[in-house]
Structure 1
């Protein structure tokens, strides 16, 4: 849960960060990050948009 909060706070400070950038900058494995982002999206705390081959992640309520 603590890791998930760290991810959420990082996304809030860098809205629009790509999945790979987030994994690299936080030093989290791809599988772990996928799991935590899945949970955060289910809880409606973040959302993502795919443009081309990249997925961008935003905090809930971002416009």
Structure 2
């Protein structure tokens, strides 16, 4: 388990092991600060599975 106390946490992509609401509750229970979008305060970005696929597709479009 990662230490998230006082971290500003954002989730992106599809979370396989829990719902986004459960993830949000977990962040709060561990003393973290949940954010729905990335900001200058964001210190921890949790990437779900689909994010990588989307990035791969984007990179191929640029080539």
Q: TM-score range by the shorter chain?
A: 0.3 to 0.5
Query: 1 or 2, which has the higher strand percentage?
Result: 1
TM-score, scaled to structure 1:
0.33
Relative CO higher for 1 or 2, CA cutoff 8 Å, sep ≥ 6? 2
TM-score, scaled to structure 2:
0.33
Q: Say which one has the larger Rg.
A: 2
